Amino acid sequence: MSTILLAGGAGYIGSHTAVELLNAGYDVIVVDNYANSCPESIKRVESITGKSVKLYEADVSDNAAMEKIFAENKIDAVIHFAGLKAVGESVAMPVAYYRNNIDTTLTLLETMSKFDVKNIIFSSSATVYGEANKVPYLETMPRGACTNPYGWTKSMMEQIFEDAAKADEKLSVVLLRYFNPIGAHESGRIGEDPSGIPNNLMPYVTQTAVGKRECLTIFGNDYPTKDGTCTRDYIHVVDLAKGHVKAIDYILANDKVCEIFNLGTGTPYSVTEIVETFERVNNIKVNHIYGARRPGDLAECYANADKALKVLGWKTEKTLEDMCRDSWNWQKNNPEGYGKK
């Protein structure tokens, strides 16, 4: 069976993808510097699947460390999750974001070229559509102007991958544009474990429900949407992880590809709908107030997910209720996440 290297694989999406790849019969190697994670997530991946993961602690932008990993293993494909992802922090520390996100990408491409590894899947984001494109977003739309440095790193990395694929007749690239991943593995053993005050909606909701935060502020209720709050395409992280397995099957089955896929459900839900559904399915109150808009937020963001269905044979299976139930199951079983990072 093929061996897949997950760069940044100890994180939220990487750990869930490791479970689905192992369940599908792939061998998994993880490299992570634990900038935003810890090795405990991978121990739990092993206990969920009953299979072992080869784990390296290293910085993915470190050429010597990466060459050692590629020399020690026969790698068939790489999935590049390693990156910094906090939008607000990227505004305050743009150089650190450009350095980390772009360096990891360049080092991976250089090492792959040296060791003749020809398949890479990249964690991109719906943020690359920018403000000018109209929802639902289609892969054929041009990348737009991003509203923050994090988004620009994704846009630039997509360009780097496309240029590299153009220049190398054997290099295959799949760019996956994620929408809003939430939820957790149904075991409640792995999930999202943000450091400090969460930036994203669902961890803020779960931490408010568990009593770690006093009150959720819903950012704006005067948007031109169904109830005035922003809408997003929330996707269960296990569905997202399964999308990676389909993308790996696809990239390994084809000689040469360079393709973009949206990974979303195609259905937008508002912030108020998220809070109300969470309260209903979990039978728990989430203290919340309506506050000012958050700078940089778009009113609406959702995918046209037809291409992933047509080409990869992938579509989401989980409901919003599943997402809310599994997010809470993870939080209540692990009120401190994985513990100390």
Exposed/middle/buried for residue 157 (C-beta within 10 Å: 0-12, 13-18, 19+)? buried
Which of ligand UFG, ligand NAD, none lies near 17, with the C-beta cut-off 5 to 8 A by kind? Answer: none
CB 170 within 8 A of CB 256: yes
Q: Is 36 in the site for ligand NAD (CB under 6 A)?
A: yes
Would residue 142 be called left, alpha or beta, if left means φ above 0 and alpha means ψ between -120 and 50 degrees?
beta
Q: What angle do CA 204, 236, 216 make, to 5 degrees?
A: 15
Can residue 87 be called a binding residue for ligand UFG (CB under 6 A)?
Answer: yes
> Which entry of 12, 26, 97, 150 is annotated as an active-site residue?
150
Instruction: Number of residues interacting with ligand NAD: please give it, by CB under 6 A.
Output: 27
Q: How many CA atoms lie within 13 A of 106 on its CB side?
A: 10
Task: Phi first, then psi: give them for residue 183, nearest 5 degrees.
Answer: 85, -175
Q: Are strands 269-270 and 231-232 parallel, antiparallel or unpaired?
A: antiparallel
| Residue 294 lies near ligand UFG (rule: CB under 6 A) | yes
Select the binding partner of residue 236 from ligand UFG, ligand NAD, none (C-beta < 5 to 8 A, by kind).
none
Q: Which is nearer to ligand UFG, 56 or 81 (CB)?
A: 81
190 binds, among ligand NAD, ligand UFG, none (CB under 5 to 8 A by kind): none
Residues 6+ apart with CB under 8 A from 268: 135, 231, 232, 233, 300, 301, 302
- The C-alpha angle with vertex 178 and arms to 174 and 183, in degrees rounded to 5, equals 130
**What would the two tokens of residue 201 be?**
């909606």
Is the Cβ of residue 18 or residue 271 nearer to ligand UFG in the bound state? 271
Query: Does 184 help bind ligand UFG (rule: CB under 6 A)?
Result: no
* Nearer residue to ligand NAD within complex by CB, 14 or 266: 14
Q: Is 331 in the site for ligand NAD (CB under 6 A)?
A: no
Among candidate residues 36, 87, 31, the one with its CA nearest the CA of residue 194: 36
**Residues within window 220-259 making contact with ligand UFG, judged by CB under 6 A:** 230, 232
Select from 123, 155, 208, 329 the one that contacts ligand NAD (CB under 6 A): 123
12 binds ligand NAD (CB under 6 A): yes
Is-catalytic flag, 150?
Answer: yes
Q: State which amino acid sits at residue 220.
A: G
Residue 61 binds to ligand NAD (criterion: CB under 6 A): yes
x-marked contacts with ligand NAD along 219-258 as a string, rule CB under 6 A: ----------------------------------------
The residues that touch ligand NAD, with contacts defined as CB under 6 A, are 8, 10-14, 32-37, 59-61, 81-85, 100, 104, 123, 125, 178, 180-181
